[in-house]
């Protein structure tokens, strides 16, 4: 069982929350087959943990009573075979969202009212695990024309080579520039678009990703003629 971290500031607690959330999102999306297999209904009560190093783990609950940190939902494996797979994953996602919030506010017990409000606001800017798993986009303020253009302009550069060689693709990209109501979420962690971060689009599934989530740098992107995200690359490899 991991010790309660020394996270005390809003920023430190949010970093812990974000890392745990990224881990759980990965377990329920990219690593879903592995996660599904680990949740054997024949085993004892199992829990899904997201750790601060962005790794996830399906294991038995902590033996300490009371635990040093709030515990995730117990026995997620028991309902696996009795429910539709998507419904079961959605249920695990909802419980995981609740656990993530409980851990964050446990670590933030000493925060004052304004700090708690700021922490929740930062957390609320990210889509919930449930929204990512069910592919629902969170309701948020419509981006301005400037912010929308900047978003698409930044990501457009990551597939500049493709746009030059394919006028049709280039036209589609510029049409997207003008869509002020578009919302971009990372296909890996589910995070919202940030103009200060590098993004790259998959040419197969057309989803967008933080460069850091798929380990692609701007320099590396320049040499990629057609980018395939990890999920699409894996699917092609199985064919």
Task: Specify whether 113 is located in the same domain as 215.
Answer: no
Task: Specify whether 130 is located in the same domain as 189.
Answer: no
pTM given for the model: 0.59
Phi and psi, residue 38, nearest 5°? -75, -20
Express each pLDDT in 22-65 by its tens digit.
999 999 999 999 999 999 999 989 999 999 999 999 999 988 77
Question: Could you tell me if residue 73 is inside a domain?
Answer: yes
* Structural domains in the chain (count): 2
Q: Which domain holds residue 88?
A: 10-134
Question: Could you tell me if residue 165 is inside a domain?
Answer: no
Question: Could you tell me if residue 231 is inside a domain?
Answer: yes
* Residues 6 or more apart in contact with residue 90 via CB below 8 angstroms: 130, 133, 134
Task: Return the DSSP state at 127.
Answer: P
Task: Specify whether 51 is located in the same domain as 119.
Answer: yes
Which uninterrupted H or E stretch holds 220?
helix 218-222
Question: Could you tell me if residue 126 is inside a domain?
Answer: yes
In tens digits, the chain (239 residues) has pLDDT values of 344 445 589 999 999 999 999 999 999 999 999 999 999 999 989 999 999 999 999 999 988 778 889 999 999 999 999 999 999 999 999 999 999 999 999 999 999 999 999 999 999 999 999 999 998 755 444 333 333 333 333 444 444 444 444 544 444 544 444 443 346 788 888 777 777 788 888 888 888 888 888 888 888 888 888 888 888 877 655 55
Question: Could you tell me if residue 1 is inside a domain?
Answer: no
Question: Could you tell me if residue 32 is inside a domain?
Answer: yes
Question: Could you tell me if residue 205 is inside a domain?
Answer: yes
Task: Specify whether 112 is located in the same domain as 24.
Answer: yes
Structure tokens at 90: 């959605």
Task: Specify whether 128 is located in the same domain as 217.
Answer: no
Question: Could you tell me if residue 86 is inside a domain?
Answer: yes
């Amino acid at each position: 069982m991991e010790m309660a971290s020394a996270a005390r500031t809003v920023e430190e607690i949010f970093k812990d929350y974000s890392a745990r959330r990224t881990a759980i999102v990965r377990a329920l999306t990219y690593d879903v087959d592995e996660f599904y297999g680990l949740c054997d209904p024949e085993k004892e009560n199992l829990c899904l943990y997201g750790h601060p190093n962005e790794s996830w783990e399906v294991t038995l609950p902590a033996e300490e009573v009371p635990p040093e940190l709030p515990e995730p939902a117990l026995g997620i494996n028991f309902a696996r075979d009795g429910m539709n797979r998507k419904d079961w994953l959605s249920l695990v996602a909802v419980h995981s969202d609740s656990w993530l919030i409980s851990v964050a506010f446990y670590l933030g017990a000493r925060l004052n009212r304004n700090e708690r409000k700021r922490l929740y606001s930062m957390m609320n800017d990210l889509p919930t695990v449930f929204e990512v798993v069910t592919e629902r986009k969170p309701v948020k303020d419509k981006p301005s024309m400037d912010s929308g253009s900047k978003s698409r302009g930044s990501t457009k550069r990551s597939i500049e080579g493709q746009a030059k060689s394919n006028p049709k693709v280039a036209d589609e990209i510029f049409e997207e520039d003008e869509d002020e109501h578009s919302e971009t979420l990372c296909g890996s962690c589910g995070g919202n678009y940030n103009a200060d971060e590098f993004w790259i689009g998959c040419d197969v599934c057309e989803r967008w990703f933080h460069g850091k989530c798929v380990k692609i740098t701007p320099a590396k992107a320049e040499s990629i003629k057609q980018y395939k995200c990890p999920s699409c690359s894996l699917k092609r490899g199985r064919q």
